[in-house]
Chains A and B, each alone.
Chain A
Amino acid sequence: MPITEKEVREIAQLARISIADKDICSYEDQLNKILAFVDEMKAVETEGITPLAHPLEETQKLRNDKVSEKNQRESYQSVAPTTENGLYLVPQVIE
């Protein structure tokens, strides 16, 4: 079932990407091409096969919960667009 213009807008909202009205059709067309091509997967029976998420099927390694890094707030915030008193600044969220 092809993806619709409305769905393209919904996905773009989920991905927090704004798309100009004039470009919606071209995204719709290209996404449909990509989805038609990945639909080849449907031809294969995969009932009962456990999905593979990690190629080596290793479990996550655990470590002791110890402080290993020193505080580098200044260095890490030096690349931030805007900060004040060690805090990141964003537009007001709560009235």
Chain B
Amino acid sequence: MNLPNSVTEIIQGLENGTFSSQELTKAYLNRIDNLDPEINSFITVCHERALLDAKNADRSRSNGSANKLTGVPYANKDIFCTKGVRTTSGSKMLDTFISPYDATIVERLGSQGMVMLGKTNMDEFAMGSSNETSFYGQVNNPWNTNCVPGGSSGGSAAAVSAGFTPVATGSDTGGSIRQPAAFCGISGLKPTYGRVSRYGMIAFASSLDQAGPMGRSVEDLAHLLSPMAGYDPKDSTSSMVKTEDYSGNLEDALKGKTIGLPKEYFSTSLDRQVEGVIEEAIKEFEKLGANIVEISLPTTSLSIPAYYVISSAECSSNLSRYDGVRYGHRCELPIDIEDLYKRTRSEGFGEEVKRRLLTGTYVLSSGYYDAYYRKAQQIRRLIKDDFANAFTQVDAVISPTAPTTAFETGKHLDNPVEMYLGDCFTVASNLAGLPALSIPAGFVGGMPVGLQLIGSYFQESKLLTLGHMFQKSTGWHQHFSRDDSEGTQ
């Protein structure tokens, strides 16, 4: 069968009886089996469970008890705990971990009747921008398999781009939804910190981590965000601010909307051709009636150093739980408790994770805490204040999502700092806790370019409207990396 191109089409098809959830699920599973060996976007594919869920979804449709999303297939990043299904976070440490409970978002999407196709590949514990640090092997970019898909939600991005799933969940600590979305030519939203529950999402840096939707269009992101968002008593950092009807508010004229262009973002590190694509996109927003004004975010250059200090510090604390005692990897025949901890952790964690654990331990250690961790938190406030100031004048801030298109596999592996610098446009919104959207804006040398829109707190609807209106007039999101009929039999 020809796979539908959007969740909207799937909902219509299921409602009209054009196809059943079972037929659709089978087609996606076939496509994964046939085409994913080249991409490696899935760590675990749930054939039997998905077909069973699809069967139940079809039954709900026929007896009138279905929700809008009942029977719609999706995939979860392997950072979300799924009851009875292996949950690895891309690490050898959790290679055999079968979660005894569901993450809140998994439970919520499941209770809508959505069908989980499987768990997607990711950088180990979400630490990486290229999906090369996964214990389960690198993911290849469907647009050019010699290039990385971005990270850390690179499996979800590649799977959506290649049409292995219509939508997927992701998590974003410093750009991990937006940068892979940009590299793979799809849309991705990092909501406001606290908008989506973190319960059951394996922790990396708790004051920065946020889950969000990834899909081919902004409209599809809205479909997925609605059930994901909202207060969760199981996550004390989730927000009680009321959610909105994200799908219902997409159509709105952009006349009178003001978009800020931070002069610091258009610096020397930005690829000239990527800049050209973004300039065209800005003209498109002007054509749609938006006002573009130049703004200043003076602390921009400090956001990556502050981010790496804070995220490494928090991960060194969070990952201390992997001690070989309660779950996860345990070394063979430990001679004493020290040996148990040290060998378990050395065997279970990969290089990049160890590097960050050491960095985090150092910046939190006595004598260095003030110079690094406290300083980074002070800079974090300056960054937040910069944005607060900007949002008194503008509805959203526009920038490229990443300074380049997807780079070649292996390019930055020897130099972690070079890899970190690629996050220059995305980390600030995590530090400030702001929502940010990445959407396709064009191509350079056959590779997709992502455009980022950052909004003020809990302004997800406004961002989605800006993105949707742009997609309606440009169609960049309708360029697909794979033919939609291939491999479905």
Contacts and interface: CB of A to CB of B under 8 A. Distances in A.
B259 interface: no
B357 A55 contact: no
A81 B365 CA distance: 31
Interface in B375-394: 375-382, 384
Interface in A64-92: 72, 75-76, 78-82, 88, 90-92
A82 to B, nearest CB: 7
Majority SS at the chain A contact face: loop
Contact of B100 (A12, A50, A76): A76
A17 B357 contact: yes
A41 B308 CA distance: 11
Given A56-B194, A79-B100, A90-B337, A15 B381 contact: no
Contacts of A17: 342, 345-346, 349, 354, 357-358
A19 B346 contact: yes
A51 B346 contact: no
Given A15-B316, A18-B342, A3 B374 contact: no
Interface string B355-382: 1011111110100000110111111111
Given A17-B349, A75-B100, A49 B378 contact: yes
B475 interface: no
B126 interface: no
Contacts of B320: 16
B337 A93 contact: yes
B325 A90 contact: yes
A55 B384 contact: yes
Interface string A1-23: 00100011001101111110000
Given A27-B358, A52-B377, A82 B330 contact: yes
Contacts of B340: 90-91
Contact of A40 (B301, B342, B431): B301
B342 A31 contact: no
Nearest to B346: A18
Contacts of B375: 41-42, 46
A15 B357 contact: yes
B334 interface: yes
Nearest to B304: A37
B343 A18 contact: yes
Contacts of B349: 17
Given A79-B327, A80-B326, A91-B337, A53 B355 contact: no
B358 A12 contact: yes
A60 B235 CA distance: 11
Given A51-B381, A76-B100, A41 B362 contact: no
A35 B368 CA distance: 11
Interface stretch (B137-145, B222-230, B415-423): B415-423
Interface centre among A31, A54, A60, A63 (most CB of B within 10 A): A54
Interface in B273-329: 299, 301-302, 304-306, 308-309, 316, 320, 323-329
A30 B416 contact: yes
A49 B381 contact: yes
B331 to A, nearest CB: 9
A50 B378 CA distance: 6
Contact of B417 (A27, A33, A81): A33
A94 B320 CA distance: 22
Interface centre among A33, A40, A52, A53 (most CB of B within 10 A): A52
B380 A51 contact: yes
Contact of B207 (A18, A31, A55): A55
B481 interface: no
Contacts of A15: 316, 345, 357-358, 360-361
Contact of A56 (B193, B336, B416): B193
B432 interface: yes
A38 B305 contact: yes
A14 B365 CA distance: 9
A38 B325 CA distance: 34
Interface in B232-268: 233, 236-237, 239
A11 B325 contact: no
B309 A41 contact: yes
Interface of A: 3, 7-8, 11-12, 14-19, 27, 30-31, 33-35, 37-42, 44, 46, 49-56, 58, 60-61, 63, 72, 75-76, 78-82, 88, 90-93
10 contacts: A18-B343, A34-B355, A38-B306, A41-B309, A44-B299, A44-B379, A55-B434, A58-B237, A75-B100, A88-B325
Given A17-B357, A34-B417, A44-B302, 7 more contacts: A17-B346, A37-B305, A46-B378, A55-B207, A80-B327, A81-B328, A91-B336
